[in-house]
Amino acid sequence: MKWLERRLPIASLVNSSFVAYPTPRNLNYWWTFGAILTFMLGVQIVTGVVLAMHYTPHVDFAFNSVESIMRDVNYGWLLRYIHANGASFFFVAAYIHIARGMYYGSYKEPREVLWILGVILFMLMVATGFMGYVLPWGQMSFWAATVITNLFSAIPVVGGSIVTWLWGGFAVGNPTLNRFYSLHYLLPFVIVGVVMLHIWALHVAGQNNPTGVEPKTEKDMVAFTPYATIKDVFFTGVFSILFAWFIFYIPNYLGHSDNYVPANPGQTPTHIVPEWYYLPFYAILRAIPSKLLGVTALAASIIVLAFMPWLDTSPVRSANYRPLYRQFLFIFFAAVIGLGYLGSQEPTGGYVIAARILTIYYFAFFFVILPLLGLFEKTKPLPNSISESVLQKGVPVGASAPPAGVHD
Amino acid sequence: MKRHHSLAAAFALSGLLCCFGTAVSAQEADAPPRQHWSFWGPFGIYDQGQLQRGFKIYREVCSNCHSIKLLSFRNLADPGGPGFTEAQAAAIAASFQVTDGPNDEGQMFQRPGKLSDTFPPPFPNDQTARTALGGKLPPDMSTLAKARSYEWGFPQFIIDAFTMYQEDGPDYIHAILNGYTDPPADFVLPPGGQYNKYFPGHAIGMPKPLSDGQVEYTDGTPTTVDQYGRDVAAFLMWAAEPTLNARKRLGFQVMIFLIVFTGLLYFTKKRVWHAVLHDPDLDKPRVA
């Protein structure tokens, strides 16, 4: 061990990062979703690598090779249902993780780079998930690929050429499927790399906490292991129960039945919808009558997240001490969910108007509400320290508690 | 045939969305009545007798027009299926003629089916099928029961996640088989179409395929279209999802494990944190 330590101090790196690493003592369960996301990334990579051993990326064989995985490969149905539902649950965890960051102001100084890396991770997830959805080559795969790649044609002058370049031909076809397969295999490992940077940045800046007050002394902290570790593992277990419910009992609930029909370029489905996790952005795209502006709004709706650290002018981090921000933020969450629902519906009549109102709120939240609130909002007094906030909550302080002495 | 479940909307329980929830999108077709299925729920598995009856209907009626290309004869003897013995499955296979070849002389030839063969399609190619059937191609039935659904709308789709409702495909198939009625007076039926109240757009290309007493049952089950519809829909569900029984069994084991394991983790977590939460002396740092 000493021999290795002198040449490559990996053991002490793990120890300082995941064992002795000090973590705020007041973290709640919303802070366990980072660990859950890491778990989901592992699940997706392991199941995905095995699925790739049985999958054939060719327009004539892709659908049947997926069905062969479902029918003939030992536990192939399990691998595929884990992977397909795993994508959804990856996004569930990511959305909760992002919402937690927005609520507790985790994007603010000194965590801007950490936050931007997170936005990059989200964009990589969107790209990976989309290309993975194309691989089974069902009707929805094919038509989703057609609709989404066609968005690039909105770019002036070079749009048409870009789409042809993306397709590798003049329509979505075999070259498209092959390159999506290649990238779907590559991008998860890019995600792994960015996750490492994300964790590195986290460990430089330190974790935020529900009070948003920076830790002042050692008594504000507990060691990562066992305190954060056991909490993360426990809640990953809770999350897995929900995940297993979908895998074993309603494995096709989150999918679309049209994707069990083989891709047919000659027949357009009555209603093309993306996977549920893209629906809010899809609604924003459709809310705007101009294609170019719609695509711009779609891209902006994600990119704007990266600018949150500078759009938010308030010095206070946690929404617990920002009553107005808290209300506007909950309306924002409701607006995103509302956009998600509208994205799944036919874009007619009142739905378009509702989608436009919610889209306006979505952007107004970032460009109007966030900058102004910091100037006008009257915030609640902050606790002096994390340990003070813990004591104020009236946690029973029993004299019979076992002697402290938990040292790693 | 269109449905989208959005988990995001599951969070809409906040009630902030009531204004959208009431605006259910216009449904062209009637909602298929929900049937009782033996394979519903955490312990639901296929009923062997029903799958055998459904197979009989497929073989005698559906297979005249519909292919089921992904199903092999060997599947008939697979565990969790209709429960034919291997000898019975081989006899069924031998009763079909499949095209094989080319042989040493370079000719394609017909031979009796083997267990490893897939079910031969009724028409050599899609164009022949269209020509023979008035221009419409009957869909392949391999994944049909998972490829059809009905959009139940909010809030039913959220309830369905909790009640494990996954049977809208079989419900739809049963409904279609029982949905042939006289068209309303103001309905203009396109040429070659039949009126079906559960079919999107109502004009279905398939003539009414089943009538009472058409397929003989030997086990005393009523020979009604209602019963035929249920049996063949169950068979098609098995054809689309042959590993359902194994999934339910493993699912129960995994659930038991996860619940016990997570419970133990919870108590471990409580014990580890006990000292932190009940420590009168917050001055003592807990960082190594």
Report residue B135's pLDDT band, with 50, 70 and 90 as the boundaries. Answer: confident
**B234/B150 same-domain check:** yes
CB contact under 8 A, A78 and B247: yes
Q: Residue B120: what pLDDT?
A: 96
Q: Is A221 helix (H, G, I), strand (E, B) or coil?
A: strand
Q: A314-352 pLDDT, tens per residue? A: 999 999 999 999 999 999 999 999 999 999 998 888 999
Query: Cα-atom radius of gyration of chain B, to the nearest Å?
Result: 26
Q: Give me the residue from B42, B154, B279 closest to A249, CB to CB.
A: B42
What is the residue range of B205's domain? 31-40+56-62+138-242
Q: Residue B277: what pLDDT?
A: 80
Mean pLDDT value across residues B61-90:
96
* B77 is a domain residue: no
* Residue A165 Cα, gap to closest chain B Cα (Å): 31
Residue with tokens 């969450």: A333
CB contact under 8 A, B280 and A398: yes
**B150/B274 same-domain check:** no
Q: Give me the residue from B9, B23, B278 closest to A350, CB to CB.
A: B23
Q: B34-44 pLDDT, tens per residue? A: 999 999 999 99
* Residue A269 Cα, gap to closest chain B Cα (Å): 9
CB contact under 8 A, A253 and B247: no
**B180/B272 same-domain check:** no
How far apart CA B57 and CA B63 sit, in angstroms, is 9
CB contact under 8 A, B269 and A340: no
Chain B residues within an 8 Å CB radius of A230: 265, 268-269, 272-273
Please give the class, per CATH, of domain A273-379: mainly alpha
| CATH superfamily, region A18-210+223-253 | Cytochrome Bc1 Complex; Chain C (1.20.810.10)
Residue with tokens 């830790």: A215
**B232/B203 same-domain check:** yes
Task: Report the candidate in A329, A102, A105 with the shortest Cα–Cα distance to residue A213.
Answer: A105
* B234 is a domain residue: yes
**Counting one residue from A and one from B, how many pairs have CB atoms under 8 Å apart?**
211
Q: Regarding predicted confidence, which is higher, B136 or B36?
A: B36
Q: Give me the residue from B7, B269, B276 closest to A222, CB to CB.
A: B276
Q: What's the ipTM?
A: 0.91
CB contact under 8 A, B269 and A231: yes
How far apart CA A75 and CA A22 sit, in angstroms, is 41
Report residue A391's pLDDT band, with 50, 70 and 90 as the boundaries. Answer: confident
> For chain B, how many structural domains are there in total?
2
* Residue B100 Cα, gap to closest chain A Cα (Å): 20
User: By CA distance, what is B238's nearest residue in A?
Assistant: A71
**DSSP H stretches of helix in A271-384:** 279-287, 291-303, 308-311, 323-343, 350-364, 370-376
How far apart CA A399 and CA A165 sit, in angstroms, is 71
Q: Regarding predicted confidence, which is higher, B144 or B287?
A: B144
**B174/B223 same-domain check:** yes
**B188/B282 same-domain check:** no
Q: Residue B13: what pLDDT?
A: 34
**B207/B146 same-domain check:** yes
* Residue A110 Cα, gap to closest chain B Cα (Å): 22
* B79 is a domain residue: no
CB contact under 8 A, A257 and B3: yes
Q: A193-214 pLDDT, tens per residue? A: 999 999 999 999 999 999 999 9
User: B194: domain CATH number?
Assistant: 1.10.760.10
Ranking A80-94, A183-197, B120-134 by mean pLDDT, the lowest is: B120-134
**B193/B288 same-domain check:** no
Question: For A79, which DSSP code?
Answer: H
Q: Residue B22: what pLDDT?
A: 33
Q: Residue A349: what pLDDT?
A: 84
* Residue A158 Cα, gap to closest chain B Cα (Å): 34
**B208/B287 same-domain check:** no
Give the residue extent of every domain in chain A: 18-210+223-253, 273-379
**B143/B229 same-domain check:** yes
Q: Mutating which of A141, A234, A282 best tests the B interface, going by the most B Cβ atoms within 10 A?
A: A234
How far apart CA A126 and CA A299 sit, in angstroms, is 12
CB contact under 8 A, B285 and A390: no
CB contact under 8 A, A240 and B4: no
Q: B2-32 pLDDT, tens per residue? A: 344 443 333 333 333 333 333 333 346 889 9
* B128 is a domain residue: no
* B127 is a domain residue: no
How far apart CA B129 and CA B69 sit, in angstroms, is 14
User: By CA distance, what is B265's nearest residue in A?
Assistant: A234
Q: Residue A393: what pLDDT?
A: 60
* B126 is a domain residue: no
How far apart CA A207 and CA A104 sit, in angstroms, is 11
Q: B199-220 pLDDT, tens per residue? A: 999 999 999 999 999 999 999 9
User: By CA distance, what is A404's nearest residue in B?
Assistant: B275
Q: What is the pTM of this model?
A: 0.92
Q: Give me the residue from A25, A279, A331 closest to B6, CB to CB.
A: A279
**B35/B172 same-domain check:** yes
H/E element, A78: helix A76-103
Q: Residue B285: what pLDDT?
A: 56
A44's tokens: 């997706």
Q: A213-230 pLDDT, tens per residue? A: 999 988 889 999 999 999
Chain A residues within an 8 Å CB radius of B166: 249-253
Is A273-379 the same fold as A18-210+223-253? no
* Residue A141 Cα, gap to closest chain B Cα (Å): 13
**B207/B169 same-domain check:** yes
Give the E-state strand segments of chain B in sequence order: 97-100, 109-112, 194-195, 203-204
How far apart CA A387 and CA A25 sit, in angstroms, is 8
* Residue B255 Cα, gap to closest chain A Cα (Å): 7
